[in-house]
Structure 1
Amino acid sequence: MRPFLPAMLCTVMLATPAWAQPSPAMIAPDADSAMAAAIDPKGSGAVVLIARGDTVLYRKARGMAEVELGVPLSPDQLFRIASITKSFTGALLVQMGARGEVSLDAPAVRYLPDVPLDPRITLRQLLSHTAGVSETDTVAQPPFGNGEVPIAEQVRRIAARPLAFEPGTAQRYSNAGYILLAAVIEKVTGQSWDEAMRTRLLVPLGLANTAYDRPDDIVPGRTSGYSSDKGVLRNAAPFNVSIPKTAGSLRSTAADLLRWMRALSQGRVVGTAGFAEMSKPALASVGVQERYGLGLYRWQIRGQDAIGHTGQINGFTSALFYLPAEDATVVVLANSDSFDAQTLARRMAAIVIGKPYPLQRASAVPAGSLAPLAGSYGSDPATSRTIAVQDGGLVISRPNRSGTPAMLGSDGAIRFMPDELSYFLPVRDAHGAVIRLDYFARGEGPALPLNRQP
């Protein structure tokens, strides 16, 4: 991943004109540019795959699989896919529901009678992150080493936590909730969670390169994982990948994830009605950018629906998008947990749609243009920001947090990184004074207004 550029840099728009149904030859230049802007060829890297229907339009790797040995990535490399695993978990539970093995609206305690869970928590709520299951242990977690972490111990600890909120009243991402679902799968099927997933999903669909990434396994073709610390590439911190289980313990390839999304979206896993159920947002009150169903998100990209999941785990990030209106799939797999796979995937999706996001190029901006931006914006501590000018550049901070360098673009927008989609757009009064910032999450509206504070 490329390091942050100095905050005094500005941006210049670089993009080809919009088109309808771009061909592979039309997609390649913009896709190549997006990869080049995001990935240092001598550092950790990423694999990108774009397909329309079953036809691959673009497939490329950039960066290193083994930085220390100088081994470049290949498009067939194996990656830990982290939370994309949840799409498999959601499909397996929906499939089990259709077969009458479970009821998604039944209390989880029906299937885990020996676990002291709140009886209001349903399987559907666990799948949709609306159960209120807390991510925070009340006591210190013991060291697990690199061996298999017993699911019974994890379930016991999760059940002992107080609820984060009343079941069904809110939505908060919970890996712990998905670990409880692993226990349900094992109880109902009589198989380990990974064996149930293998026999019911992976083998029938021919996903030969997708599997539980067991902690001690030697896996030919699996890339090493990295992390970036203030722009310095390092080996990722050790992590026992057996801990997340159905929340994030699978490995896969870009080609297998294309096959998976094709099977899922075409109704060959849970039927078309099941896929619609998985991708239907559980709570209407959740913002348009973070709507979650049963193991799948539903986003908006350039005015179109995008269905899929992202993932982040020590050493790896990932993104899997399906665009129903285009019948297109985008896969991004990266071997750095500091890499923004979702932003690159959104860029690739916009290219397929025919409305690519402009890329940015750095150039100098007069320091005098930064001072009028300094100030505090927004009154809600959850969204407020403070802008300061330091060392000739912008620094943006949130309450009780350290500041982050930012840059002012030639389009007048403020971004944290040159290739980032989210931005703040200063709004000025008739005299040119900045009166508020409009925040566009991931480059899409509607804007969140942050009024300037006295």
Structure 2
Amino acid sequence: MKKLFAGMLLFLAASLHSQNNFWPVDSLLVQYNKPETAGVSVLVVKDGKVVYNKQAGYANIEKKQPVTPQTVFCLASVSKQFTASCIVLLEQKHKLSFKDQLSKYFPEYSKKNITILDLLNHTSGIKNHEVISLIKGKEKLNYTNKEIRELLAPQELDFEPGTAFSYSNSGYWYLVRIVEKVSGESIVDFAQKNIFKPLKMKNTNYSYSFNSVKNAATGYKKENGINVICPVNSGEGSIAGGGVYGTAEDLNLWLTEMDNKKVLGEAFWNTILNQDAYEFDKENKSFYTKGLFITNYGGKKCISHGGDVEGFHNDLTYLPEAKMHVIILSNNDETKKALLFQAAANLSLGFGFKMPKAAMPAPTVKLSKDVLEKYVGIYEFEPGVAYKVTANDGFLNFTQLWDGVYLSVNASNSNTFPLDPDVVFTFNDEKNGKTQMLHLNQEGQEADFKRVDSAVMADFTSYTGRFRSELLNVEYDFFIKDGLLYYTIDKGIAQTTEIVDENLISIKEGKITYQRNADGVANEFILNHPRAKNFKFERIN
């Protein structure tokens, strides 16, 4: 009896220890259990057992539907490992080879030495079609396959295939099409038959239509403190870098298979995880292989992939040496998934965890137009360093007059506007209905900006002009308005710029490098985005 009682105590102690390992993630999930807050699902497995499986917040705020274990999330780029797996299965059946040229399936690439392996490992040099569309000023969610192919066909590669790494959804669009060409089936049917059904992942599959997915969470972002529904890619071009919808419990089955290799087999997983990985970061010994990153976390081997689109943020992480995996799925655009992972994993791994001072954004309040109006004006720290403050619908815009950077900030109370926990604007010293002082606290460094009638503005004339790309058939117009540099794309909506230095500016579409003649006039510029490079624009006025 004494031995039995002692064993019971040991069991209870172990159980209590296991629960205590997850107090950090419990503390974070509490913040999702608030009215009108989109949610999250966190699942942790250690030594083959589910040791944590909790959900918080709403899957659908309007319908008051909470996140549950059955909630299906848009997985975004987590999907890539399933697309890569389809390719590996076809390779094992000798239906294709990783050495096959892309031109075998798409003749327009006959002069470009791109292999299927390059597509799998993001070493093809192919530009991202979504970025090309963004640069053309025609950003959209729903592409047809024809549109994607026409966007990509005339583009030069960003680098010689196999020589560099550049993450590309376009490469995975080609892989999906290759799966369908070679198998004679849609990837929806092929993956269901060869992956999801054998693994009993009953609530996971590719889908061309978000509206057809049962129990699907709705993605949300905040705009001026109000929840806004985020649209999801649909249509035939939507299965490219993403396209899979699934639950945390189904993804647990997938990572369990990655660990025990009982269904798809040792050969399959050896090909996925160990063959032909590309080392994209030699200093940190980080690799990419067939839809998965292989890095290290606290000195332990880490196999992972995230998935991020507006309104959805997901992460699958497998730590083979620790016999542990962590799944995080969220339909809340403000979710900090890296922090959630640390909170869920660190104590079980023997690492420490310190809760940040502000794990979630501070609550915001919407101020009246009359209250905001007393803050409007120009505040100067010293000549050449000033903020222009303007009011919008319930929030303030802070424009840095020395470089044109434009910040939209909500209030946390009647006079405080936190950009984030480390950057806080506070208004003080009200006289005659106008505040006279703007206080800035940036990571503990403080500065006071005094209200002035006017401030010295930077001269942005050398950046102005109309420029055109013949390849993209698009025109950019840079001009000065209210002392700041703006631009339009094909005479569309005016957007702000950020001046980096004399020849470099930053815009939403990427970085612009001006090429100037002997007189300092910019005759052309090169626009580079991390996922689509070297677009040349020439002056036309």
- Under a length normalisation based on structure 1, what TM-score does the superposition of the two structures give? 0.70
Mean Cα deviation higher: 239-248 or 305-314: 239-248
Go from structure 1 to structure 2 and tell me whether the alpha carbon gap of 1:173 and 1:400 turns closer, same or farther (over 3 Å shift): farther
Q: Does 1:336 align with 2:319?
A: no
Q: Can you list the C-alpha shifts for 1:339-381, whole angstroms capped at 9, x where unaligned? A: 2324322432223313143112369xxxxxxxxxx9xxxxxxx
The answer to which of 27-36 and 291-300 deviates more is 27-36
What secondary structure, in the 3-state scheme, does the structure 2 residue paired with 1:251 have?
A: strand
Q: CA deviation at 1:417?
A: 5.2
Q: 1: distance between equivalents of 2:188 and 2:305?
A: 19
Deviation at 1:176, TM superposition (A): 0.5
- Of 72, 75, 83 in structure 2, the residue corresponding to residue 78 of structure 1 is 72
1:33 aligns with 2:27: yes
- CA 1:354–1:82: 2 relative to 1, 3 Å: same
CA positional deviation for 1:160 = 2.8
Q: In angstroms, what is the RMSD of aligned CA positions?
A: 3.8
1:6-45: CA deviation from partner (whole Å, max 9, x where unpaired)? xxxxxxxxxxxxx999953233323202333577564111
Which residue pairs with 2:117 in the alignment?
124
- Shift of the 265–160 alpha-carbon distance from structure 1 to 2, 3 Å rule, reads farther
Deviation at 1:269, TM superposition (A): 5.7
Equivalent residues in 2 for 1:315-334, closer than 5 Å? 315-334=311-330
| Range with bigger deviation, 126-135 or 279-288 | 279-288
Kindly provide the CA deviation profile for residues 220-260 of structure 1, in whole angstroms up to 9, marking residues without a partner as x. 32111111336543211454265341420110000000101
**Equivalent residues of 1:193, 1:246 under 8 A apart:** no
Partner of 2:287: 291
Matching residue of 1:351? 347
User: In structure 2, what is the equivalent of residue 8 of structure 1?
Assistant: none
Using the alignment, how far apart are the partners of 1:238 and 1:209 within structure 2? 18
Cross-structure match for 2:132: 137
> Which residue matches 2:194?
200
Matched with 1:54 is: 48
C-alpha displacement of 1:330: 0.7
Cα distance between partner residues in 2 of 1:36 and 1:256: 24
1:154-189 deviation digits (Å, cap 9, x = unpaired): 234323322122111111110000000011111111
Amino acid of the structure 2 residue aligned with 1:28 = F
Separation of aligned partners in 1, 2:311 and 2:195: 26
Q: Give the whole-Å Cα distance in 1 for the aligned partners of 2:195 and 2:313.
A: 23
Deviations 1:80-102 (A, max 9, x none): 11111001111221222222221
Q: Tell me the residue number matched to 2:101.
A: 107
- The amino acid across from 2:188 in the alignment is D
Q: Which residue of 2 aligns with 1:160?
A: 154
Distance 1:143 1:303, change over 3 A: closer
Aligned in 2, Cα 1:108/1:207: closer, same or farther, shift over 3 Å? same
Instruction: Judge conservation of contact 2:145–2:236 (CA < 8 Å) in 1.
Output: no
Q: Any conservation in 2 of the 1:27–1:57 contact (CA below 8 Å)?
A: no
Post-superposition Cα deviations, 1:411-445, rounded to whole Å, max 9, x if no partner, equal: xxxx9658xxxxx999xxxxxxxxxxxxxxxxxxx
Corresponding residue number in structure 2 for 1:183: 177
Work out whether 1:301 is the aligned partner of 2:315: no
- Structure-2 change in CA distance of 1:194 and 1:155 (3 Å): farther
Q: How does 1:245-284 map to 2 (within 5 A)?
A: 245-268=239-262, 271-280=265-274, 281-284=277-280
Amino acid at match of 2:176: A
Cα distance in 1 between the residues matched to 2:341 and 2:263:
24
Change beyond 3 A, Cα 1:36–1:291: farther
Task: Give the Cα–Cα distance (whole angstroms) in 1 for the partners of residues 141 and 388 of structure 2.
Answer: 43
Conserved? CA contact 2:208–2:238, under 8 Å: no
Per the TM alignment, residue 113 of structure 1 is displaced from its structure 2 partner at its CA by 4.5
Distance 1:20 1:291 in 2: 36
| Preserved contact between residue 213 and residue 251 of structure 1 (Cα < 8 Å) | yes
Instruction: Give 2:314's aligned amino acid.
Output: S
Q: 1:389 to 1:271 in 2, by over 3 A?
A: farther
Q: Is the 8 Å Cα contact of residues 280 and 286 (structure 2) preserved in structure 1? A: no
CA separation in 1, counterparts of 2:259 and 2:405?
41
Which is richer in strand?
A: 2
| C-alpha displacement of 1:117 | 5.4
Gap change, CA 1:31 and 1:232, over 3 Å in 2: same
Structure 1 Cα separation of the partners of residues 266 and 27 of structure 2? 36
Give the Cα separation in 2 of the matches to 1:49 and 1:129: 29
Structure 2 length-normalised TM: 0.59
* Gapped regions of structure 1 (runs ≥ 5): 1-18, 364-373, 375-387, 406-414, 419-423, 427-454
| Alpha-carbon distance between aligned partners in 1 of 2:352 and 2:30, rounded to the nearest angstrom | 15
Residues 3-14 of structure 1: pairs in structure 2 closer than 5 A? none
Question: Are the equivalent residues in 1 in contact too, given 2:38–2:58 (CA < 8 A)?
Answer: yes
Does the CA contact (< 8 Å) of 1:52 and 1:329 recur in 2? Answer: yes
> What code does the residue aligned with 1:27 have?
N
When residues 241 and 48 of structure 1 are mapped into structure 2, their CA distance, relative to the original with a 3 A threshold, is farther
The letter of the residue matching 2:315 is A
Counterpart code for 2:127: S
2:208–2:235: 8 Å Cα contact kept in structure 1? yes
The 1-side partners of 2:323 and 2:102 are apart by 35
Find the aligned partners of 2:16 and 2:112 in 1 and give their Cα distance: 51
Higher relative contact order (CA 8 A, sep 6+): 1
- The answer to whether the Cα contact below 8 Å between 2:312 and 2:330 also exists between their aligned partners in 1 is yes
Instruction: State how far apart, in whole Å, the 2-side matches of 1:298 and 1:22 are.
Output: 33
Relative to structure 2, which stretch is displaced further, 39-48 or 169-178? 39-48
Deviation at 1:207, TM superposition (A): 1.0
Q: Which stretches in structure 2 are left out of the alignment for 5+ residues? A: 1-12, 360-380, 390-397, 410-418, 423-441, 445-541
Partner residue in 2 for 1:434 = none
Equivalent pairs counted in the alignment come to 364
Q: Deviations over 1:255-313 (max 9, x none)?
A: 00010111133224654454344345412545639632111012322221221211012
SS of 2:215's equivalent in the other structure is coil
Task: Say which SS state the counterpart of residue 33 (structure 1) adopts.
Answer: helix
